[in-house]
Structure 1
């Protein structure tokens, strides 16, 4: 019997054993793992179709959605969960899901960080039996050898190495109630894992944990409310999993609609505002340059940091509400100047006369290259990128990367020039993105084999007022194909603006349906027509997630191409001329 023994850093204590499932690519648990079956549903991931149940999952880190912590909690509390997680580098989103299970529900799932070199050494042991015991990992070729799996003793108590002020200590002592006390305990544990030495005050929060992933997320929110939870800073809510006013009319089953709607109500009972949008940067409460905030929802985090110049980490679901209850966040990462510097320099080949699909495609591609590195993009100084372009770029970038932000030289506020974004230091890596490389990502996002389009899905992230105005202009005087449905998601505030401008009436004459409160990452049948085989979207984010979330093949293209498909019921599947290869993407 041969053994490999590795010592790492225990992010969450515990013991576990199972066969090793290894991949050298980060995984977003939201949209990438089914919270009820534990199947990997990210159809772009090398582990697609595999089950995590009872196995030791080894990935470099998480990526993508902040809701990954919620999916992991569902798996831990309701099964089937992995036996343990092994990471090459610390990941706040996945670690937080396991910490909530331990701190709030007294259930342990070990999370171990072993570094990149040891992580690479694990690859030959894929499929072998692996044991986690605190800081120790043991890979054993004989899977039936004896193993003791008694639970480890918990390390309860308010001990911390962080520097705390008087209010921090009062929160920790329970003087502001049990909910705030438990929230502070979680904030401190995460702050220590992140390497912070103290906390800072934040001015506002945006809660992503209001997305319904299953009974565990509602159980968590109701427990906080039972303990008397009340937010202490202005707090907005992300898109929830249903249109709260119309889910019955849309045909949503009560078994899903009722708890999903109730989850939003519980967070509002804690003092959060009824906003229900994944694009909080479109609200009147938009933070200012340099403002310290706590936002969850991956696209919102990236937009806040990159486009607005506000300061937030990529906060996991559940840590967002904990910080809203305490008003205190870890002083580290993108909250600090040094945590916002670019370490990856990306020179982009800018095409002649691109359409609006360029930006989400580029964001998707750069996210795959970046990993956890903050990139600085050059070559786009004369692109005249709009806020909608940057929104589309950021959402796709946040889907495939784990970084909290990006810089674009000459466009984003902290990158007036190359030297500013790099902080006067040489980048750790330099890359060039060519149109040929973007063409490969285009083909990856266009998974549909048939030219048929049964659904056109727009608004991921939620449409802005300018996007709805542009859509109405394209739809004016036309009508959707009888076999094709066009559905648009947006926030209530934007819907009201569009209605007042007459755009909603134009879209409804076309045959479009507008849905508020929820977004495409949470929508399934019957909004997605049960008989539909393919859909089309202009969102790089949804083009990535849809094959796994709703089991449909995808056409990806510009807004104009989406409207043309809605009118004809088909997509020509031609690569746009600006990519330099106007052939059908299946012809290579």
Structure 2
């Protein structure tokens, strides 16, 4: 008989399944990390890179990164490429929500079990696992018995809840305000129960990430809501969609993607959402104020809203965002509450000199990996005064490697102007001291390209701001890109018009740049990226991480000025920024 280990935990989604155990001690972002059509792990920085999830018991500490992970998991469940079960160390709302929506729309599911950090470590080295509701058995080889999963009833009854409901909540739940609002409230309450919320809170606005096309299931979900009469109850903006809705044919996008991706955007607008199509809603006039209770999805936007604006939102999964927009009610939990906004990790930085704009995305990327799901407080930038674009770049990269929805920077971000305000009185938190040599490791991770050639320069992940357009115009004035290099910038329609009125776009177009609206680099591929292109360059820590998996190209990561120089020469200089050069000098010659 094979040896086995029996572990118990909390069932997030009930069910029973078994399969080969696929274990990693690093969180996985399903969006950008898993191919939604095949189930292959495509995050080339992840230890499971190249593995296929179909039929396995996937054991990861948690998800991380993008809110669209819920959509990817729902897509995998609908097309038969999903894991047989998920075993987590920590509860993960994004992945769990994907399963719950698949239950609602497709009546298909998989068990999700959370067993805690200590028990999770015991899974290492196992070959086969069997999940049965609140328990997982781990074997060193397939057990070979005649075990069969017994179908569990899908947990769709949201009426049995200990959550305090207002008369309006109950009316939504009873279907008095329509089928779409009823189903939305059922999903909201299922998540509230899993999160441990006791009541709901009114939200003032929503930003919807579920408008990204991940496959037929994402469009079917939206169209089902429209058929049920869905209408948003709060002002609602839309994230980047998967194509430039006005120009996808001109850009050579295959109609097999262009048509359903555009139709998905139309479906959300039919629910009453605004035509914003930006992953940077904080750049719009409708950006929330400090203390405002909102529901935002899109990982970089969530982090910016909480950290830089001082608004209050969870890192809402795709589809829960629209459910809350349809009800106007969100679980009162997590970063909606003062206590959950406190720092749980202190980061201390080394002495720093001659910083450029590559520093902040690199630092965010590095700190995100250190923080995991903990809210960090960063010390050492009090005199540096990073600007809003620096914080935007930091937050996007932080959200790529972290599951936390919030960061604090002492003396910089609004809640940490006095850092004592984000520390819980009488509680000591762990301290991590970052060395320049540590940042060098992350620099090398983001610089995956070895060939100095540059075929494509990718800018605008997240979407470019007016300030970034002004900076780029200064760098481009009087110059022209190399004829063999594509330089493309993604941005929102509103910011593009502001930059055009300011005169920046004329300079940038004279340089030879391509402007793309509505979509973002996380959704762009060929032919915007030429099929012959092998190497990209970007100033985005987020895209430097995701691009090798998303588009199969190696990446040079550097400052905006270095990107413009490379666009002119078709070559990456390979220069280290001045602030990182001391780290290279500290290394032995064998490692330089």
Alpha-carbon distance between aligned partners in 1 of 2:219 and 2:409, rounded to the nearest angstrom? 39
- By how many angstroms is 1:409 displaced? 0.5
- By how many angstroms is 1:424 displaced? 2.5
Alpha-carbon distance between aligned partners in 2 of 1:425 and 1:309, rounded to the nearest angstrom? 24
Q: Counterpart in 2 of 1:400?
A: 401
Q: Are 1:154 and 2:154 counterparts?
A: yes
Q: Tell me if the contact between 2:17 and 2:132 (Cα under 8 Å) persists in the aligned partners.
A: yes
Alpha-carbon distance between aligned partners in 1 of 2:392 and 2:431, rounded to the nearest angstrom? 24
- By how many angstroms is 1:350 displaced? 4.2
Q: Tell me if the contact between 2:354 and 2:578 (Cα under 8 Å) persists in the aligned partners.
A: no
Alpha-carbon distance between aligned partners in 1 of 2:164 and 2:187, rounded to the nearest angstrom? 16
User: What's the secondary structure of 1:457's corresponding residue?
Assistant: strand
Alpha-carbon distance between aligned partners in 2 of 1:416 and 1:218, rounded to the nearest angstrom? 44
CA distance change for structure 1 residues 462 and 350 in 2, over 3 Å: closer, same or farther? farther
Q: Counterpart in 2 of 1:138?
A: 137
Q: Tell me if the contact between 1:349 and 1:379 (Cα under 8 Å) persists in the aligned partners.
A: yes
1:16-56, CA deviations, whole angstroms, 9 ceiling, x for partnerless residues?
11100000010000000000111110011111111111100
Q: Counterpart in 2 of 1:515?
A: 516
- By how many angstroms is 1:307 displaced? 0.2
Structure 2 gaps of 5+ residues are none
Q: Counterpart in 1 of 2:311?
A: 310
- By how many angstroms is 1:426 displaced? 3.2
Q: Tell me if the contact between 2:40 and 2:51 (Cα under 8 Å) persists in the aligned partners.
A: yes
Alpha-carbon distance between aligned partners in 1 of 2:521 and 2:284, rounded to the nearest angstrom? 20
Alpha-carbon distance between aligned partners in 2 of 1:155 and 1:342, rounded to the nearest angstrom? 35
Q: Counterpart in 2 of 1:240?
A: 241
Greater CA drift, 543-552 or 101-110: 101-110
User: What's the secondary structure of 1:577's corresponding residue?
Assistant: coil
Q: Counterpart in 1 of 2:55?
A: 54
- By how many angstroms is 1:347 displaced? 0.7
- By how many angstroms is 1:587 displaced? 6.3
Aligned pairs for 1:74-473 within 5 A: 74-125=75-126, 128-143=127-142, 144-157=144-157, 158-473=159-474
TM-score by length of structure 2 reads 0.97
Alpha-carbon distance between aligned partners in 2 of 1:309 and 1:228, rounded to the nearest angstrom? 34
Aligned pairs for 1:500-539 within 5 A: 500-539=501-540
Q: Tell me if the contact between 2:18 and 2:85 (Cα under 8 Å) persists in the aligned partners.
A: yes
- By how many angstroms is 1:59 displaced? 0.4
User: What's the secondary structure of 1:366's corresponding residue?
Assistant: helix
Q: Tell me if the contact between 2:437 and 2:583 (Cα under 8 Å) persists in the aligned partners.
A: no
Q: Tell me if the contact between 2:436 and 2:582 (Cα under 8 Å) persists in the aligned partners.
A: no
- By how many angstroms is 1:428 displaced? 2.5
- By how many angstroms is 1:577 displaced? 1.8
Q: Tell me if the contact between 1:207 and 1:238 (Cα under 8 Å) persists in the aligned partners.
A: yes
Q: Tell me if the contact between 2:181 and 2:327 (Cα under 8 Å) persists in the aligned partners.
A: yes
Alpha-carbon distance between aligned partners in 1 of 2:258 and 2:42, rounded to the nearest angstrom? 23
Q: Tell me if the contact between 1:345 and 1:427 (Cα under 8 Å) persists in the aligned partners.
A: no
Alpha-carbon distance between aligned partners in 2 of 1:363 and 1:236, rounded to the nearest angstrom? 26
1:351-397, CA deviations, whole angstroms, 9 ceiling, x for partnerless residues?
11110000000000000000000000011001111000000000000
Greater CA drift, 63-72 or 1-10: 1-10
Q: Tell me if the contact between 2:156 and 2:186 (Cα under 8 Å) persists in the aligned partners.
A: no
Greater CA drift, 153-162 or 366-375: 153-162
CA distance change for structure 1 residues 123 and 326 in 2, over 3 Å: closer, same or farther? same
Q: Tell me if the contact between 1:575 and 1:581 (Cα under 8 Å) persists in the aligned partners.
A: no
- By how many angstroms is 1:58 displaced? 0.2
- By how many angstroms is 1:152 displaced? 1.2
User: What's the secondary structure of 1:16's corresponding residue?
Assistant: strand
Q: Counterpart in 2 of 1:484?
A: 485
Alpha-carbon distance between aligned partners in 2 of 1:142 and 1:277, rounded to the nearest angstrom? 48
Alpha-carbon distance between aligned partners in 2 of 1:427 and 1:390, rounded to the nearest angstrom? 27
1:283-307, CA deviations, whole angstroms, 9 ceiling, x for partnerless residues?
0001000000000000000000000
User: What's the secondary structure of 1:504's corresponding residue?
Assistant: helix
1:181-233, CA deviations, whole angstroms, 9 ceiling, x for partnerless residues?
00000000101111110000000000000001111110111111111100000
Q: Tell me if the contact between 1:7 and 1:137 (Cα under 8 Å) persists in the aligned partners.
A: yes
- By how many angstroms is 1:105 displaced? 1.9
Structure 1 gaps of 5+ residues are none
- By how many angstroms is 1:418 displaced? 2.1
Q: Tell me if the contact between 1:180 and 1:322 (Cα under 8 Å) persists in the aligned partners.
A: yes
- By how many angstroms is 1:142 displaced? 4.4
Q: Counterpart in 2 of 1:577?
A: 578
Alpha-carbon distance between aligned partners in 2 of 1:192 and 1:293, rounded to the nearest angstrom? 19
Q: Tell me if the contact between 1:33 and 1:40 (Cα under 8 Å) persists in the aligned partners.
A: yes
Alpha-carbon distance between aligned partners in 1 of 2:106 and 2:122, rounded to the nearest angstrom? 34
User: What's the secondary structure of 1:72's corresponding residue?
Assistant: helix
Q: Tell me if the contact between 1:364 and 1:399 (Cα under 8 Å) persists in the aligned partners.
A: yes
CA distance change for structure 1 residues 178 and 294 in 2, over 3 Å: closer, same or farther? same
CA-based RMSD: 1.3
Alpha-carbon distance between aligned partners in 1 of 2:8 and 2:247, rounded to the nearest angstrom? 53
Q: Tell me if the contact between 1:6 and 1:118 (Cα under 8 Å) persists in the aligned partners.
A: yes
Alpha-carbon distance between aligned partners in 1 of 2:543 and 2:428, rounded to the nearest angstrom? 31
- By how many angstroms is 1:150 displaced? 3.0
Alpha-carbon distance between aligned partners in 2 of 1:361 and 1:9, rounded to the nearest angstrom? 36
Alpha-carbon distance between aligned partners in 2 of 1:149 and 1:581, rounded to the nearest angstrom? 58
Q: Counterpart in 1 of 2:43?
A: 42
1:498-557, CA deviations, whole angstroms, 9 ceiling, x for partnerless residues?
111111111111000010000000000001111011000000000000000000000000
Q: Counterpart in 1 of 2:546?
A: 545
Q: Tell me if the contact between 1:95 and 1:111 (Cα under 8 Å) persists in the aligned partners.
A: yes
Alpha-carbon distance between aligned partners in 1 of 2:419 and 2:231, rounded to the nearest angstrom? 43
Q: Tell me if the contact between 1:183 and 1:325 (Cα under 8 Å) persists in the aligned partners.
A: yes
Alpha-carbon distance between aligned partners in 2 of 1:572 and 1:93, rounded to the nearest angstrom? 39
Alpha-carbon distance between aligned partners in 1 of 2:529 and 2:423, rounded to the nearest angstrom? 44
CA distance change for structure 1 residues 235 and 502 in 2, over 3 Å: closer, same or farther? same
- By how many angstroms is 1:423 displaced? 3.1
Alpha-carbon distance between aligned partners in 1 of 2:27 and 2:218, rounded to the nearest angstrom? 23
